[in-house]
Each structure stands twice: as C-alpha cells, then as structure tokens.
C-alpha cells in the first residue's frame, strides 16, 4: 500500500520547491530592508538629538538668569 518514491520529482513538487526558494529569498531581502531602515531611523534620531541638545545648550547659555518670583501666601479669612 505504500507507494515507492520515484527518482524523478513530479512537476508539482518541483513547483512547490521553487515557490519555497523564492519565498525564502524574498524573506531574506525583506529582513535586510527592514534592518537598513532601522539603522537609518536610529541615525536620524541621533542626528536630531544632537541638534536638539545643541539648541538647548545655546538657549541655556544665552538666556539671562531671571530670579523666580516668590508668590505671597494668601491669608485665609477668619470666621467671625
């Protein structure tokens, strides 16, 4: 009842193997693209962080030291 495997692969198995090979290659390409995009995003974030920190440092350097005004406490009304 068990059929012997022939030495020659069937057209269906050849097509399946070809599809699997293509999917594997496309998956590897997609992973490479995703990794490259992630690297580009991290580089851009690093660039923007450096710009922000430089801007904040410049603002801190140019901003005059303004004393903080102390608020007076309000007195509660005493019941009569």
Q: What is the pLDDT along the chain (80 residues), one digit of tens a residue?
A: 456 667 788 999 999 999 999 999 999 999 999 999 999 999 999 999 999 999 999 998 887 766 667 777 777 777 76
CA of residue 29 relative to chain centroid, distance: 19
Q: Is the dihedral of CA 25, 30, 31, 33 positive or negative?
A: positive
> Which DSSP letter does residue 80 get?
-
Separation CA 49–CA 37 (nearest Å): 18
pLDDT at 48: 98
Neighbours of 71 (CB within 10 A): 6
36: enclosing H helix or E strand: helix 11-62
pTM value surpassing 0.85: no
């Amino acid at each position: 009842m068990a059929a012997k495997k022939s030495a020659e692969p069937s057209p269906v198995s050849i097509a399946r193997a070809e599809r699997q090979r293509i999917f594997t290659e496309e998956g590897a390409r997609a992973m490479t693209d995703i990794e490259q995009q992630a690297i580009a995003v991290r580089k851009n974030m690093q660039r923007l962080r450096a710009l922000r920190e430089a801007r904040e440092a410049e603002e801190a350097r140019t901003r005059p030291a303004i004393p903080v005004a102390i608020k007076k406490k309000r007195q509660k009304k005493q019941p009569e």
